[in-house]
Amino acid sequence: MNSIFFDLSFVDQINSAVIRLVAQHGDFFHDITRILLIHFLVPLEKFLIGLSPVVVLLGIGVLAWHALRRWTTVVALVAGLYLIGCFGLWDKLMQTLALMLVSTTLTIAIGLPMGIWMSASPRLRKVLEPVLDVMQTLPTFVYLVPVLMLFGLGKVPAVLATVIYALPPLVRLTDLGIRQVDKEVVEASRSFGSTPWQLLINVNLPLARPSIMAGLNQAVMMALAMVVIASMIGSRGLGEDVLSGINNMDMGRGLQGGFSIVILAVVIDRITQAYGKGRRERQALRQKRKGGQA
């Protein structure tokens, strides 16, 4: 039928290449996993689980208050987390939280500089764009198997997959935001002899802030959308409940797990977004609370 096509297939080559890679270098990658786990992920998780829920809830409440300055929201966020505890999912919540803290931190640490760099170099953008496309659309499932053959099951490949998936929106929107900064302001800053770094800190980042924060919001959302996938490769947490809910057609359990993920997403998002607000907005907010007038 489709006679215009050559017959082409890399299936066998890919398969044997993966197997060879695993056989030859699998130990090395597994060692990396072990080091990351022992020195980093496991202690963090142990720490979080070890904390009394009261302390965690209080801590998050204080943090939320500091960021948001709005009782209603703070109470809603803390109540949401408390609800997860009532579902009996507190330990899993802490496991997922640990995973998310690590993934989001990594995403920001990689994504922000990458976006900044990209905004400065059209050539880099040309190279990076298809890579970002791949990161975002190559189904996680596809690389999950090779990745977990290399790194083993569990948290490390989960963090890896999450970062890969959550990175592109942050990079893209950072890039976009900086490119949209008013040229006249940039020119004025340059005229006073700003170094590229000063320009970035004083002009580009603050003025691109709304766009960057939208990128961060997307990154957080996508990271949390990966929680279930993370559980598919043996990472503990809220995703487990969703998975087992699905596998057993126990929609109730799945939904409870799913909504716990949503609550966590909203908590993380609201707090990061509030901290991402500009000084001026935060000031205005505080005044509004005080003055009572809109």
Show the binding pattern over residues 163-202: x = contacts a second copy (CB under 8 A), - = does not: --x--xx--xx--x--xx----------------------
Output 41 or 242, the one with its CB closest to a second copy: 242
12, exposed or middle or buried, with CB in 10 Å at 0-12, 13-18, 19+? Answer: exposed
Q: Considering the complex, what minimum distance in angstroms separates the CB of residue 261 from other proteins?
A: 15
Judged by CB under 8 A, the residue of 73, 154, 218, 275 near other proteins is 154
Asked if residue 289 binds other proteins (CB under 8 A), the reply is no
Which amino acid is present at 288? Answer: K
CB 95 within 8 A of CB 101: no
Q: Considering the complex, what minimum distance in angstroms separates the CB of residue 40 from a second copy?
A: 25
> What gap in Å lies between CA 78 and CA 65, rounded to an integer?
10
Judged by CB under 8 A, the residue of 50, 139, 193, 292 near a second copy is 139
Asked if residue 148 binds other proteins (CB under 8 A), the reply is yes
- With CB under 8 A as the contact rule, which of the stretches 39-47, 110-118, 223-231, 275-283 interacts with a second copy? 223-231
Estimate the share of the chain in helix, then strand, then coil, as percent rounded to the nearest 5: 85, 0, 15
- With CB under 8 A as the contact rule, which of the stretches 75-83, 98-106, 144-152, 263-271 interacts with other proteins? 144-152
- Report which secondary-structure segment, H or E, holds 117: helix 90-120
Asked if residue 149 binds other proteins (CB under 8 A), the reply is yes
Judged by CB under 8 A, the residue of 8, 12, 13, 72 near other proteins is 12
Output 116 or 267, the one with its CB closest to other proteins: 116
Residues in binding contact with other proteins, number by CB under 8 A: 70
How many CB atoms sit inside 10 A of residue 3's CB?
4
- For residues 200-219, which are near other proteins according to CB under 8 A? 202-203, 206-207
Q: Enter the tokens of residue 290.
A: 């005080």
Distances from the Cα of 49 to the Cα of 56, 149, 154, 220, angstroms: 10, 28, 18, 22
Q: Is 3 helix (H, G, I), strand (E, B) or coil?
A: coil
Judged by CB under 8 A, the residue of 101, 106, 246, 285 near other proteins is 246
Q: Is 272 helix (H, G, I), strand (E, B) or coil?
A: helix
- For residues 26-65, which are near a second copy according to CB under 8 A? 53-54
CB 207 within 8 A of CB 182: yes
Show the binding pattern over residues 30-69: x = contacts other proteins (CB under 8 A), - = does not: x--xx--xx--xx---------------------------
> What gap in Å lies between CA 222 and CA 163, rounded to an integer?
9
Output 94 or 156, the one with its CB closest to a second copy: 94
Asked if residue 82 binds a second copy (CB under 8 A), the reply is yes
Q: Give 204-227 as a DSSP string.
A: IHHHHHHHHHHHHHHHHHHHHHTH
Q: Considering the complex, what minimum distance in angstroms separates the CB of residue 258 from other proteins?
A: 14
